Amino acid sequence: MLKFGTSGIRDITKNLIKDHVATQIAEALSQAGWKEVTVGRDGRTGSDKLMNEFIKAFTGTVHNLGITTTPDLASQSGLGVMITASHNPSQYCGFKVYLNHFEQSTLDLPPVPVYHKWDLLPKDIVIDCANGGLGHKLHSLGFTNIINFDGEINKNCGATHPEFLTKYCQEHQQEIGFSVDGDADRFMMYLHDHVLTSEEVSVIIATLLNLPSIVVDETVNSGLGNTFNLVRSKVGGQNVIRMMQQSHVNFGAEKSGHYYFDANIGTSDALDAIILIANAYHEKGLAGIQQILKTYHPYFQFNRNVNIADLPIDYEVILANFTLPK
* 216 & 171 share domain: no
* 209 & 279 share domain: yes
Rounded distance, CA 256 to CA 247, Å?
22
Classify residue 119 as exposed, middle or buried by CB count within 10 Å of its CB (0-12, 13-18, 19+).
exposed
What's the gap between Cα 63 and its chain centre?
A: 22
User: Prior bond to 122 cis, omega within 30?
Assistant: no
260 found inside a domain: yes
Rounded distance, CA 183 to CA 199, Å?
22
According to the 3-state scheme, what is the secondary structure of 247-280? HCCCCEECCCCCEECCCCCCCCCHHHHHHHHHHH
Rounded distance, CA 283 to CA 278, Å?
9
Residues in Cβ contact with 188 at an 8 Å cutoff, skipping those fewer than 6 apart:
159, 162, 165, 178, 179, 195, 196, 257
CATH number for the domain that contains residue 165 = 3.40.120.10
Predicted local confidence at residue 313, as pLDDT? 67
**Region 20-44: what's the mean pLDDT?**
88
320: pLDDT strictly greater than 80 = no
Tens-digit pLDDT profile for residues 122-136: 888 999 999 988 888
Predicted local confidence at residue 19, as pLDDT? 83
Among the candidates 139, 166, 195, a domain finishes at: 195
Predicted local confidence at residue 74, as pLDDT? 79
Q: Is 63 helix (H, G, I), strand (E, B) or coil?
A: strand
Q: What is the pLDDT confidence band of residue 143, given thresholds at 50, 70 and 90?
A: confident
309 found inside a domain: no
Tens-digit pLDDT profile for residues 270-307: 999 999 999 999 999 999 999 999 999 999 887 777 66
Contact 265, 256 (CB under 8 A): no
324 found inside a domain: no
* 155 & 200 share domain: no
* 86 & 8 share domain: yes
114: pLDDT strictly greater than 60 = no
> How many C-alpha atoms does 21 have within 13 Å on its Cβ side?
24
Pairing of strands 176-180, 126-128: parallel
* 70 & 127 share domain: no
User: Residue 260: beta bridge partners?
Assistant: 252
Among the candidates 70, 100, 130, a domain finishes at: 100
Angle at 292 between CA 290 and CA 293, to 5 degrees: 65
Rounded distance, CA 301 to CA 312, Å?
27
DSSP letter (8 states) at residue 145:
S
Rounded distance, CA 27 to CA 316, Å?
45
Q: What is the pLDDT confidence band of residue 6, given thresholds at 50, 70 and 90?
A: low
Query: DSSP string covering 90-155, please?
Result: TTEEEEEEEEE--PPP-S-PPP-----GGGGS-TTSEEE-TTSHHHHHHHHTT--SEES-SSSTTT
Mean pLDDT of the chain: 85
182 found inside a domain: yes
Candidate from 51-55, 65-69, 287-291 with smallest mean pLDDT: 65-69
- 7 vs 103, residue with greater confidence: 7
111 found inside a domain: no
DSSP letter (8 states) at residue 35:
-
290 found inside a domain: yes
Tens-digit pLDDT profile for residues 181-204: 988 899 999 999 999 999 999 999
* 83 & 128 share domain: no
Rounded distance, CA 56 to CA 24, Å?
11
* 10 & 95 share domain: yes
Domain count for the chain: 3
* 293 & 202 share domain: yes
Predicted local confidence at residue 108, as pLDDT? 40
Predicted local confidence at residue 120, as pLDDT? 84
305 found inside a domain: no
Rounded distance, CA 245 to CA 215, Å?
10
Residues in Cβ contact with 140 at an 8 Å cutoff, skipping those fewer than 6 apart:
none
Rounded distance, CA 32 to CA 144, Å?
44
* 202 & 294 share domain: yes
Tens-digit pLDDT profile for residues 234-277: 998 889 999 999 999 999 999 999 999 987 777 888 999 999 99
Domain containing residue 216: 196-298
Rounded distance, CA 84 to CA 87, Å?
9
Contact 197, 145 (CB under 8 A): no
317 found inside a domain: no
* 279 & 241 share domain: yes
229: pLDDT strictly greater than 70 = yes
* 143 & 89 share domain: no
* 221 & 182 share domain: no
What percentage of the chain's residues is helix, strand, coil (to nearest 5)?
35, 20, 45
Rounded distance, CA 101 to CA 105, Å?
13
- Number of neighbouring beta carbons within 10 Å of residue 295: 12
Among the candidates 145, 160, 195, a domain finishes at: 195
Which conformational region is residue 234 in: left (phi greater than 0), alpha (psi within -120 to 50 degrees), or beta?
beta
